[in-house]
Chains A and B, each alone.
Chain A
């Protein structure tokens, strides 16, 4: 898959292989915590220590719903963009995303990576590992999925900061 900035403030993802398209389409559903308390705790981390009772209470009441709305809205944007992914059997796909959606993409990919990392209890060391996995257990494949989403984030940041191309 190639990711580049196009003229007219958009980002183009080309040569999307079927397995890559499948992983991309999974992003919005991966972002559903399914009520997993640890994943929820990571998405909505505490903004202060327990001595700040009133602040924490206000945060839960007023800020947390806004954050949830922001995350859900970002997911919807990505889901709608993914609906335009063109891929015909046997042929690589293509997707054009407006630059204005880049924050939603980065946010949603981050949600997906944080939730997967929390649910599968990856350690700091494992997340920093760049060697190929020793086996292909479900856990190893999820780590590859996290790294795939990380690579897309990196390319989107590069594309947003980079020069427009024809």
Chain B
């Protein structure tokens, strides 16, 4: 009888998108947060301000979604600017 080879189930995580989320913080200035979004993500001033206002009024904003490695890179940059930022699996 031929041996049955069961291949291990490999979860393909490459396609799973991840969110970079920035949370509200009363200390960081609105102008500072806007500037950081422009520098880190290369966003236009308008887009950066939209995210900053979402953080300010809703408490959080998903500022970027994509591959895990890139998300971790952005996260490190945001922490370097002392923003409260976390990584979350996108729904």
Contact = CB atoms under 8 A, between A and B. Distances in A.
Interface string A144-162: 0010001001100110010
A153 B29 contact: yes
A107 interface: yes
A107 B76 contact: no
DSSP class of A's interface residues: helix, strand, loop or mixed? helix
A77 interface: no
DSSP class of B's interface residues: helix, strand, loop or mixed? mixed
A127 B72 CA distance: 30
Counting chain B residues whose Cβ lies within 8 A of the other chain, the interface size class is: 10 to 19
Interface residues of A, number: 31
Contacts of A161: 35
B82 A107 contact: yes
Interface of A: 43-49, 52, 55, 63, 66-67, 70, 106-107, 110-111, 113-114, 117, 122, 124, 127-128, 146, 150, 153-154, 157-158, 161
